[in-house]
Amino acid sequence: MYLWIKALHVISVISWMAVLFYLPRLFVYHAENRDKKEFASVVKVMEYKLHKYIGIPAFWGTVLTGLAMIGMNPEIFKSGGWIHLKLTAALLLIGYYIHLAIIRRKMENDQCHRSGKFFRIYNEVPTILMIIIVIMAVVRPF
């Protein structure tokens, strides 16, 4: 059963990461084209659908399967510091995702005035966290 949950976890993580990479990219387009109302309205729909129909289910799939694996193998916390760093990076990724949801709502209501450059830089956060998570999970360096 553990391996099935792990497989679902990997599937959920891949889907969630797609959202974490693409939603800030949509914010770039949105921020750089605020004055083009028709374009902005299309991007708002894309942001909403990406978040609601892919992001939220993938987020919960990732969190619930991750918690299930920990529940099935609590001894993993004794396997080294790698798991602690991995979970810390995962918690930071959750915080990042929540912040994206807040930004999306503000963008929807025309209340976010951050620049496209900000979102281009902000879009690097999930990449850095993903690299840490994957190295910790696969290499387990300490």
- In this prediction the pTM is 0.94
DSSP codes, 70-98: HHH-GGGGGS-HHHHHHHHHHHHHHHHHH
**Per-residue pLDDT tens over the stretch 87-142:** 999 999 999 999 999 999 999 999 999 999 999 999 999 999 999 999 999 999 99
**Per-residue pLDDT tens over the stretch 29-65:** 999 999 999 999 999 999 999 999 999 999 999 999 9
